[in-house]
Structure 1
């Protein structure tokens, strides 16, 4: 039962801070506090509100919250999500837009499994819905998956992707963002060998670590600096008794969040202090910019220990994808066998997570693919988030990706102006 106490201790600390925030908010909101002409009670209530909300979000899975999109007819069309393939560690879901004719572009958006839920891609999904049939990989929180469901590592992830692509058919266009880029590449290569007819028509890789050593960052430096034994001791714990996955070895979401926050501690600290002042002054709202961002950012999920450790070991340390040495079930997955899937690389000039050059390395591995099927784009001034969900994505990258999809579709959609959704 090693590490279980540590996992439960972290949850206890989180729960206690949520309770302290709620208590401070309730106490400072008593009508009697109005008898004392001091801003101290307002500040206490504001601190309590921000603290309670922040710690409560850490264990809540965000809702997609996509109610409707505007169609070509200028009307709002209701959006509903539907599970197409249900698996223990992740589902394939589809966004159905009611009242709109089926769009010719079919896009599978491969969401990262890197601490946050697939809802981190919400704005990306919204921007694609007016012009595409959108499918998304919806990964599950490892703490909610019973140990009896078995393991889930990078090979299993690749097999999940290949199964999802196979289910959707060869007219699908895959867009993989960040962490899944190398595994989307291996899944495509796996299909090229096992079932060539099921390969996607195009594969767009956005800011992913195909070759982490191509352009070192703080993330890659950490991967080289720390041994696997140290990493196991520092990050891996057993899920506590409260959840269905009790006893499963995981990299806890709360621990991941601590790492995320520490990288920009000063900026996050200022953001929370400024929000507290806005709440005290009555200037904050439930869906203001701060709450919209942190409701998503603070919502974290556990990763299975074997997925996290195999990612570090095989993708970053051993560079198995970069060396075209990746194996699934003991069989070599040869990236050179991809011969007819158009591949586009998108990178951000200021990406400090997956620096320019890391994702571009994929094109050199595609030895069986003609140059006419390869493309790349470096977005000036864009950071990691901007290349798939920010202004750079909406204004520049998204139109280029849609053009690339159209150029590599069996039947191109009628020419029209694409809609830039918020």
Structure 2
């Protein structure tokens, strides 16, 4: 019933939000006499804020059209490499008409970014992808909103997540592949590569784990504490609902995106209130630069997706209640996950000093689990002054974290550039 009430509220607010947007434009239109009246800026700002508080936020685009790579501007084309019921594997293909640049693009390492399936869309990692594209061939997991997946496609659990990552690695090819997992997927990514190693399969060149709950017992945050204090049955009865009509996934049990969003806001309500007040003030002052920055952030932050109930409940139980991975008891499709079977994959872990999602030491715990990886192929980096989002987005990501990742990847490539294929002698080619 809660989901239906939410849909009803959304339908009720939509006309009000649209009207507020029109009213706001009326008071800033120079050809309208109302824009000349005293206080018109404040009235327009009030209506604009009302519009943004009531509007529906859809999944944003990555919108990466070009980047500067090897000193030249190169075009970016977004390609769906593999389609799965709950996720698409996206490649950001780089193009140039400069033969020397083409040669360098082809020699760049390949990176798979495993985006979190924890409420927001993979576009939250737009800055991560854009920066990586300067020096790497980049793929990303683009998780789908569970309410758009028909119920006859079946459930999607944590085991399925692990198998998806394995399939993506095999599709791209593990040789010279560097897997970057951000936040929640550090656990299934380590599980996927551990199982591949146990099976005797070829494994990626490196795995880079950023701000994830490998061992959620260390420096527990508010997120960890909630999962630990409430029972599995509590989560199942209080946050799981069926997707209503007319959505394609009608009948599917999910953890709704709107509930997740409420939780995000509840973690720092004062910060969000201050941010909206600052936005209002910027509109009144005509400070377009700061106002646009607010819009960009909240267009992304407010766009959330539903997660399949099985995946969400599996994660709560396995990662945050049983601590199965660090305890050595985690089984995926009946097979025990053994990180110590990994021997030839370089490991870099990254944590933010001020991370309030994944506490200090939670990601670094991967080093102890992967005890068969030689010490010289391991590294850890704590980003001073960075919170959770700061390790993969923003100035600290670009100036501090990315250079460390770039150097680490270059230091652990499995194959020399001399063995790469010869560059095609085309007037226009891609990487």
So what's the TM-score if we normalise by structure 2?
Answer: 0.89
* 1:18 aligned residue: 14
Q: Secondary structure at the match of 1:200?
A: coil
Q: How many Å separate the matches in 1 of 2:266 and 2:92?
A: 35
Alpha carbons of structure 1 residues 306 and 35: separation in structure 2 relative to 1, 3 Å: closer
- In the other structure, the counterpart of 1:272 is 276
SS of corresponding position for 1:300: coil
Structure 1, residues 223-273: CA drift from partner, whole Å, max 9, x if none? Answer: 111111221222111111021001111111111111101111111112112
Q: 1:129 aligns with which of 106, 129, 133?
A: 133
| Alignment-derived partner of residue 256 in structure 1 | 260
1:190 and 2:195 correspond: yes
Separation in 1, partners of 2:299, 2:67:
22
TM-score by length of 1: 0.91
Q: Per-residue CA shift, 1:63-115, capped at 9, x if unaligned? A: 0011111132x432211110111100001110011114324210001100110
- Taking a change above 3 Å as real, the CA distance of residues 278 and 227 of structure 1, as seen in their structure-2 partners, is same
Displacement of 1:54 in angstroms is 4.4
Match of 1:419 in 2: none
Name the CA shift for 1:285/1:300 in 2 (closer, same or farther; >3 Å).
same
- Matches for 1:346-357 after TM superposition, within 5 Å: 346-357=350-361
Q: CA RMSD in A?
A: 2.1
1:21 Cα offset (Å): 2.5
Out of 73, 82, 86, the position equivalent to 1:85 is 82
Unaligned runs of 5+ in 2: 97-101, 419-431
Q: Which residue of 1 aligns with 2:167?
A: 163
Structure 1 distance, partners of 2:395, 2:2, is 40
What are the equivalent positions in structure 2 for 1:233-382 lying under 5 Å apart?
A: 233-284=237-288, 288-382=292-386
Q: Is the 8 A contact 2:179 2:208 kept in 1?
A: yes
CA distance in 2, matches of 1:256, 1:227: 18
User: Aligned partners of 1:56, 1:88: CA distance in 2, in Å?
Assistant: 28
Deviations along 1:22-70, one digit per CA (max 9) or x if unpaired, are: 223434627887299452x654432332332344343x11100111111
Gaps of 5+ in 1: 415-422
Is the Cα–Cα contact under 8 Å of residues 21 and 50 in structure 1 kept in the other structure? no
Does the CA-based 8 Å contact 2:261-2:302 persist in structure 1? yes
What is the alpha-carbon distance in structure 2 between the residues aligned to residue 179 and residue 393 of structure 1? 18
Residues of 2 paired with 1:329 and 1:354: CA distance?
27
**Count of aligned positions:** 406
- How much has 1:278 moved relative to structure 2? 2.7
Contact 2:283 2:291 survives alignment (8 Å): no
After TM superposition, list the pairs within 5 Å mapping 1:24-63 onto structure 2.
Answer: 24-27=20-23, 29=26, 34=34, 37-39=37-39, 42-58=41-57, 60-63=58-61
